[in-house]
Chains A and B, each alone.
Chain A
Amino acid sequence: MALARRSSNLLKPLSTASSSSSFLNRRPFSTDDSTTITIETSVPFTGHNCEPPSRSVDTTPKELMNFFTDMALMRRMEIAADSLYKSKLIRGFCHLYDGQEAVSIGMEAAITKKDCIITAYRDHCIFLGRGGTLLESFSELMGRQAGCSRGKGGSMHFYKKDACFFGGHGIVGAQVPLGCGLAFAQKYRKEDHVTFAMYGDGAANQGQLFEALNMAALWDLPAILVCENNHYGMGTAEWRAAKSPSYYKRGDYVPGLKVDGMDAFAVKQACKFAKEHALKNGPIILEMDTYRYHGHSMSDPGSTYRTRDEISGVRQERDPIERIRKLILAHDLATEKELKDIEKLARKEVDEAIAKAKESPMPDDPELFTNVYRKGFGVESFGTDRKEVRATLP
């Protein structure tokens, strides 16, 4: 089977911070929030119908350290989920996000918990970014009561409404019109917030996306469409699925920005820029050039349609956590050992959360019938044997 590929820019080399103003002396890792460090993004932004923001991103030592810690936790969580799936504690579908952490982290750094996020099924790390806990995550994956959806949703259906995270959707592309709907409500209510509707390169060709985008543009909705382009829609490479894989340009009259999605600071800058734009001018598309190390899901080895060299190449050249590690070391914010300790701590936290999740019981049987409606009017519902199992929906 020929894996003929066009040339890809997937292995662009990292450039570490070239110009940085550091006010720090050499000292152990810092939680300094007041010092400004300026980081240059790996590559400049490319704009479509808009003037791209500057490559220089301001940050603080605390933010840098948090980026590292949070991404290390996300990475660990996904790797642990892989093992849990293989030991059959996680059932059904499991789509892992390792490699793409910078998109979630960078986005959260630029927005508030009152801005909405909606995504597809690769949602574990987005949930964590929104403030979800490891325990809720692992419990949900294993179908336990402590899960964020009390075990009834599963991997693809994580939600956190109090942090304006609206899931967690299994049907490719459906979340984009939904996201525009969230933005519609935000504008309707005159809120000063925006919605980030996330989707992949596979979903980018869905008709409903363009329908919703047209309306968002027509009505100036504060919707930001974020295409997480990891270059493969399940087993199909982007050039085999899209006549134009320049997803940031696909909005035509809607401006777009192409962003290095493996660079958390580029993502942060882009999301900040997009939020300002959306509140004033309506929708904008962000294309995050990113990569997933795992296959599409745990049922997909991920190596029949891409080479192992490509995967390890990206890991070596563009890994988001490695990038932050190099920045931290370059700015003397922490030692190598301290960073390794942070990773060990992440591992420990993940292991503890898994152990606690395993103790959480499975949902009680009557949960089969809860939450069918918000308001059921006392209507009857039935089990498989309608003479044996009936319930009244409150």
Chain B
Amino acid sequence: MRKKMKRHTNPTRLLLLCHTKSTNENDGSWEGIQGVKMMQQGFISQHVAARALSALVSGNYVQQRLRPAIRPYSSATKEMTVRDALNSALDEEMAADPNVFIMGEEVGEYQGAYKISKGLLDKYGPERVVDTPITEAGFAGIGVGSAYHGLRPVIEFMTFNFSMQAIDHIINSAAKSNYMSAGQINVPIVFRGPNGPAAGVGAQHSQCYSAWYGSVPGLKVLVPYSSEDARGLLKAAIRDPDPVVFLENELLYGESFPISAEALDSNFCLPIGKAKIEREGKDVTITAFSKMVGYALKAAEILEKEEGINAEVINLRSIRPLDRETINASVRKTNRLVTVEEGFPQHGVGAEICASVVEDSFGYLDAGVERIAGADVPTPYAANLERWAFPQIEDIVRAAKRVCYRSLPMAVAVAATA
């Protein structure tokens, strides 16, 4: 039977394959990741390409089994919520490595404040799914200390607003240790939880911490959007030997995304530090992360339909390391930039991206850089004010139009060229 090989129009989408020496999780001698090989989907290795080509030519479909980790591309699309994606990633990583444990408030008996750790206490027991008192500074410190001694904690903050109680440990105890000890003490810890605004939770529960953590050397900061992002990035974060701040979004937990068979594989990881081009375009580059990726994609649809503007949407996936290469390459192609984020504008993620583009691709810019961000105020509770406090789709559309100089009525534009 001949199966159509899936064509990937997105050449910069990367698939990370993780190898493990032992496949037997019960033998107690798990030896850790041996190596990490990056492959570009659609750009398969020469060896396989040759086989594939001959298979097509000969009319025989041959399953391309490069390594046990690759599954044949499936044409049927499964859907998975971000919540389930995170839960399955945690489950698989805990199964694969007995050093991985989860710690946080309500992660065990309550099944997780947002049900991300549902079922894990029953499966792995209270030694590996640890309910804590409401004491973030304490348990973050305990988590980092356990990581010093070789464990791989996944510390949950019920929201990242509460991480401020623990921020000294995240930065001074975790981020800087490898450096201060000249490599003796690495900290393989993951701090995860919802970040940014939810809906109507007020000033003390709505802040986005991406810029704060993104500015700290020694930390890795990841911002998943889709279920595939959630799975791939969380698994990569847990396997990573350095402290990772994993910023989720409460409103995305219930959202369903199509998920490929490769993403469902238990060895599926995404590379840290690589952005994803969610939508290719040629007129303007829109960078976004987390929930704003969805908004940017919708804005791109509107721009296409109503303005004929073809926007390229970049899902950052990683705040630190920031994929300056992908962003700059995109701006060199489109010549225009709009950055989108929910956090406060001053010293935000967008500010860094704009600076990077102005520094590295100034000659390619045809218009000034634009930032869309959260309003420069503490988050109000009232529904109408809250709406003004965070980016809406029309803000992104408007900014994109501005950089494309589409604010001019057509007649004027025509007259100008005559």
Bound CA span A170–B134, Å: 13
The distance from the CB of A204 to the nearest CB of chain B, in whole angstroms, is 9
B134 pairs with A233, CB closer than 8 A: yes
Bound CA span A151–B385, Å: 9
B202 pairs with A236, CB closer than 8 A: no
The distance from the CB of B58 to the nearest CB of chain A, in whole angstroms, is 57
Pick the interface stretch among B40-48, B92-100, B373-381: B373-381
Provide the A213-227 mask, 1 if CB < 8 A to any CB of B, else 0.
000000000000000
A1 pairs with B109, CB closer than 8 A: yes
B131 pairs with A362, CB closer than 8 A: no
Q: Which residues of A contact B345 (CB under 8 A)?
A: 382, 386
Q: Which of A342-365 contact B (CB under 8 A)?
A: 362-363, 365
Q: Which residues of B contact A172 (CB under 8 A)?
A: 134, 162
Q: Which of B132-146 contact A (CB under 8 A)?
A: 132-135, 137-138
B374 pairs with A384, CB closer than 8 A: yes
A362 pairs with B165, CB closer than 8 A: no
Bound CA span A156–B407, Å: 43
The distance from the CB of B158 to the nearest CB of chain A, in whole angstroms, is 9
Nearest B residue to A157, CB-CB: B202
B378 pairs with A241, CB closer than 8 A: no
Q: Counting CB contacts under 8 A, is B201 at the interface?
A: yes
Q: Which of B92-144 contact A (CB under 8 A)?
A: 105-106, 109-110, 113, 121-122, 131-135, 137-138
Provide the B335-358 mask, 1 if CB < 8 A to any CB of A, else 0.
000000000010000000000000
Q: Which residues of B contact A363 (CB under 8 A)?
A: 380, 382, 384-385
The distance from the CB of B100 to the nearest CB of chain A, in whole angstroms, is 22
Q: Counting CB contacts under 8 A, is A24 at the interface?
A: no
B106 pairs with A235, CB closer than 8 A: yes
A236 pairs with B133, CB closer than 8 A: yes
The DSSP consensus for interface residues of chain A is loop
Q: Which residues of A contact B162 (CB under 8 A)?
A: 171-172
B382 pairs with A362, CB closer than 8 A: yes
A235 pairs with B135, CB closer than 8 A: no
Bound CA span A276–B168, Å: 39
Q: Which residues of A contact B200 (CB under 8 A)?
A: 91-93, 143, 154
Nearest A residue to B113, CB-CB: A234
CB contact between A206 and one of B105, B122, B135, B205 (< 8 Å): that residue: B135
B133 pairs with A241, CB closer than 8 A: yes
Q: Counting CB contacts under 8 A, is B180 at the interface?
A: no
A151 pairs with B131, CB closer than 8 A: no
Nearest A residue to B345, CB-CB: A382
Q: Counting CB contacts under 8 A, is B391 at the interface?
A: yes
A151 pairs with B381, CB closer than 8 A: yes
The distance from the CB of A362 to the nearest CB of chain B, in whole angstroms, is 5
CB contact between A205 and one of B131, B135, B380 (< 8 Å): that residue: B135
Q: Which of A61-95 contact B (CB under 8 A)?
A: 91-93
Contacts known (A153-B202, A207-B138, A372-B377); A233 close to B133, Cβ less than 8 A: yes
CB contact between B381 and one of A152, A171, A234 (< 8 Å): that residue: A152
The distance from the CB of A222 to the nearest CB of chain B, in whole angstroms, is 27
Bound CA span A384–B341, Å: 9
Q: Which residues of B contact A383 (CB under 8 A)?
A: 375-376, 388
Q: Counting CB contacts under 8 A, is A256 at the interface?
A: no
CB contact between A384 and one of B105, B382, B391, B402 (< 8 Å): that residue: B391
Bound CA span A144–B162, Å: 27
The distance from the CB of B376 to the nearest CB of chain A, in whole angstroms, is 4
CB contact between B204 and one of A170, A205, A234 (< 8 Å): that residue: A170
The distance from the CB of B298 to the nearest CB of chain A, in whole angstroms, is 15
A205 pairs with B134, CB closer than 8 A: yes
CB contact between A151 and one of B199, B373, B378, B382 (< 8 Å): that residue: B382
Contacts known (A92-B199, A92-B201, A368-B389); A387 close to B105, Cβ less than 8 A: no
Nearest A residue to B162, CB-CB: A171
Bin chain A's interface residue count. 35 or more
CB contact between A368 and one of B164, B165, B204, B377 (< 8 Å): that residue: B377
Q: Which residues of A contact B376 (CB under 8 A)?
A: 372, 381-383
Q: Which residues of A contact B399 (CB under 8 A)?
A: 385, 387
Nearest A residue to B341, CB-CB: A384
Q: Which residues of B contact A241 (CB under 8 A)?
A: 132-134
A206 pairs with B134, CB closer than 8 A: yes
CB contact between B380 and one of A93, A235, A368 (< 8 Å): that residue: A368
B199 pairs with A235, CB closer than 8 A: no
The distance from the CB of A242 to the nearest CB of chain B, in whole angstroms, is 7
Q: Which residues of A contact B201 (CB under 8 A)?
A: 92-93, 154
Bound CA span A173–B135, Å: 9
Q: Counting CB contacts under 8 A, is B272 at the interface?
A: no
Q: Which residues of B contact A170 (CB under 8 A)?
A: 161, 202-205
Q: Counting CB contacts under 8 A, is B84 at the interface?
A: no
Q: Counting CB contacts under 8 A, is A367 at the interface?
A: yes
B388 pairs with A368, CB closer than 8 A: yes
Q: Counting CB contacts under 8 A, is B398 at the interface?
A: yes
Nearest A residue to B114, CB-CB: A299
Bound CA span A149–B138, Å: 33
Q: Which residues of B contact A1 (CB under 8 A)?
A: 109, 121-122
Q: Counting CB contacts under 8 A, is B366 at the interface?
A: no
B131 pairs with A240, CB closer than 8 A: yes
The distance from the CB of A378 to the nearest CB of chain B, in whole angstroms, is 14
The distance from the CB of A299 to the nearest CB of chain B, in whole angstroms, is 9
Provide the B359-400 mask, 1 if CB < 8 A to any CB of A, else 0.
000000000001111111110111111001111100100110
Bound CA span A308–B110, Å: 16
CB contact between A385 and one of B133, B385, B398 (< 8 Å): that residue: B398
B384 pairs with A362, CB closer than 8 A: yes
Provide the A369-394 mask, 1 if CB < 8 A to any CB of B, else 0.
10010000000011111111100000
Q: Which residues of A contact B164 (CB under 8 A)?
A: 171
Q: Counting CB contacts under 8 A, is B198 at the interface?
A: yes
Contacts known (A234-B110, A385-B398); A372 close to B381, Cβ less than 8 A: no
The distance from the CB of A173 to the nearest CB of chain B, in whole angstroms, is 7
Identify the interface centre among B109, B131, B373, B398: most chain A CB within 10 Å of its CB.
Answer: B109
Q: Which residues of A contact B121 (CB under 8 A)?
A: 1
A93 pairs with B202, CB closer than 8 A: yes
A156 pairs with B135, CB closer than 8 A: no
Provide the A167-186 mask, 1 if CB < 8 A to any CB of B, else 0.
00111110000000000000
Nearest A residue to B340, CB-CB: A384
Q: Which residues of B contact A365 (CB under 8 A)?
A: 384-385, 388
B133 pairs with A242, CB closer than 8 A: yes
The distance from the CB of B390 to the nearest CB of chain A, in whole angstroms, is 6
Q: Which 3 A-B pairs have the closest CB atoms?
A: A91-B200, A92-B200, A154-B381
In the assembled complex, 10 residue pairs joining A and B whose CB atoms fall closer than 8 Å, in A order, are A91-B199, A140-B381, A170-B202, A206-B135, A236-B105, A236-B109, A367-B385, A368-B385, A372-B376, A388-B395
- The residues of A with any CB-CB pair to B shorter than 8 Å are 1, 91-93, 140, 143-144, 149, 151-157, 169-173, 202-203, 205-207, 233-236, 240-242, 304-305, 362-363, 365, 367-369, 372, 381-389
